[in-house]
Structure 1
Amino acid sequence: MSSATGATRLGWFRTGWPRGAFGALLGIALAALLGHLIPASEGLPWIMAPVGASAVLVFAVPASPLAQPWPVVGGNLISVMVGMAVGKLCALGGIGAPVAVSLAVGGAIAVMALTRCTHPPGGAAAILGAMAGIAPAAHLPGPLAPLALNVIGIVGVGWLYNAATGHPWPHIPVVPPSPAPIRTVTYDREDLDAVLADWDETLDVEPDDLDALFRAVERRVLRRWEDDHK
């Protein structure tokens, strides 16, 4: 096998689904292993469903703002605590589970936004917390303990694995210096596609949306340039 062919295959692994799939396999394996530290007498599951969704984000789109360490940790753990608090209050007030889970998810979204840790799996964590909180035999820490152990596994593997496969995590975008404003220029769609390929990152933004954004920025810059030179 030529070196060029080997580099091509390695590049496909670094950006394609095999990299994300294998990383998620490792992350969930450690999450499950840590989850078994919870005593069986507690009657709690050793793996929590939200970490499966977290693994997709951490390993498949590690550059996404929703997949960074603080959103993963805060989004899951804060949401499950919000859910537990809402569930307990609803249980005390005689409010049923459908209302409890609705309030829990809405409250979790609000708290995640305020604490800058929006993470989609947090919605599932809030539902888990609400269902645990409204249960007659509910007691602390409830699902918080296994979820915390699961999250530690995902974050630990995410940090090591993403860095080892060329995707440092937390993601820090490399912004090149701005060129000297010699003249107003534009770009072709092929330029955008080439830059995305060079970046070697999977973003959770469609290229068409990026193109629309950059075209809007171009038009704004052009209008400002025209106003400055009237």
Structure 2
Amino acid sequence: MKSWLQACLGLLGVEANTTSHHEKWISALGGGLGIAAVYGLSHWALDGMAAGLMVASMGASAVLLFAVPHGTLSQPWAVIGGHLVSGFIGVSCYLALGNSLLSASVAVGLAVGAMAYLRCIHPPGGATALAAVIGGPALHALGYGYLLTPVALNLVAILAVALLFNNMFHWRRYPVALMKPRQSEPDRPHLALSHEDFAAAMHALDTYVDVSSEELAQLFDRAWEHARAADQHVLKLTRGHYYSNGEVGDQWCVRQVFDLAEEDAGNPRARLIYRAVAGAREEQTGLCRVEEFRRWAKFRVTKQGERWIKAT
């Protein structure tokens, strides 16, 4: 049952959330402040349904700017180019084809293609293109003025809040180019990084990861530090404890020592029973000698929420 549920969650793309409650509330506060500025400008420039559609488009941008500030889809060029290019395409499609199914479909399709070629993919841009087609008489009357009011004004508002708010916190930098690279050590040895090292690094980074090159480098550095800090003493096997083989990907596995007498823990020829609880061959049990299990196991782990981390 557990394996079936995990398989379903994997197909849905549900992953363990590595951000703290503190970070989640910061994202929520930033999104609220950003959309407050956008909402005010939208209702100053437009009334009724047209204003509502514009707010909906920028509301989607607020999710990216404040929940994923380091993501590639959240950077200034993606936000500015994504909205303005898509808005231009949407207005052009309306003027050429009117308010129709064909116009709406072509506008969004062309907007996606244009954003991809111009390297400014920003998902809310699709809503900006669509709004230009189905936004109603008040918005249609603006013509290409739609790009200035409210789109450009709204962009100024939400980007200004993103710049001020995100940079108030030392672990956030917006745009991500402001993030200072970590100083690497010239004599750093090569280390094999494990599943647990990357999990710990993502937790320490404390942000949703829509990875940029800068953030990936920082993630690697944190994982390396976690691997270096691991205990190097002889691994002690204890009944009921969990151990990892330190591999990554399909080879990663966590096993629990299911049955081992305390007096046999130091006897390499004694036998123990183990049970795989995560990763490869999950739910399977096995029998092996203590020395064999110790060669397989790299370190002891504990479960924290949905993550397995090295035991201290």
Q: Structure 1-normalised TM-score?
A: 0.71
Q: In structure 2, which of residues 31, 38, 41 is the aligned counterpart of residue 34 of structure 1?
A: 41
Aligned to 1:105: 108
1:101-125, CA deviations, whole angstroms, 9 ceiling, x for partnerless residues? 1111111111112221100001111
**Within-5 A mapping of 1:28-177:** 28-38=35-45, 44-45=50-51, 47-91=54-98, 97-132=100-135, 138-141=141-144, 143-144=146-147, 145-166=149-170, 167-172=172-177, 174=181, 177=184
CA contact (8 A) 1:44 1:142 kept: no
Task: Give the SS at the match of 1:45.
Answer: helix
Change (3 A) 1:106 1:156: same
CA contact (8 A) 2:50 2:139 kept: no
Q: In structure 2, which of residues 203, 206, 215 is the aligned counterpart of residue 200 of structure 1?
A: 206
The one-letter amino acid paired with 2:89 is V
Structure 2: where are the runs of 5+ without partners?
Answer: 1-18, 212-218, 221-247, 250-312
Q: Select the structure that is richer in helix.
A: 1
Question: Hey, what's the Cα distance between the residues in 1 that align with 2:203 and 2:155?
Answer: 31
Q: Select the structure that is richer in strand.
A: 2
CA contact (8 A) 1:74 1:117 kept: yes
Aligned to 2:6: none
Aligned to 1:185: 191
Q: CA deviation at 1:180?
A: 4.8
Q: Tell me how many residue pairs correspond in the alignment.
A: 193
Bigger Rg, structure 1 or 2:
2
Question: Hey, what's the Cα distance between the residues in 2 that align with 1:132 and 1:39?
Answer: 11
RCO comparison, higher one (Cα < 8 Å, 6+):
1
Change (3 A) 1:23 1:117: same
Task: Give the SS at the match of 2:207.
Answer: coil
Q: Structure 2-normalised TM-score?
A: 0.54
CA contact (8 A) 1:88 1:134 kept: no
Task: Give the SS at the match of 2:69.
Answer: coil
1:52-87, CA deviations, whole angstroms, 9 ceiling, x for partnerless residues? 100000001111100111111111121011111012
Taking every aligned residue pair, what percent have the same amino acid on both sides?
35
CA contact (8 A) 2:90 2:129 kept: yes
Q: CA deviation at 1:131?
A: 2.6
Question: Hey, what's the Cα distance between the residues in 1 that align with 2:203 and 2:183?
Answer: 16
Q: CA deviation at 1:171?
A: 1.1
Question: Hey, what's the Cα distance between the residues in 2 that align with 1:54 and 1:111?
Answer: 18
Structure 1: where are the runs of 5+ without partners?
Answer: 1-10, 217-230
**Within-5 A mapping of 1:9-24:** 12=20, 14-15=22-23, 17-24=24-31
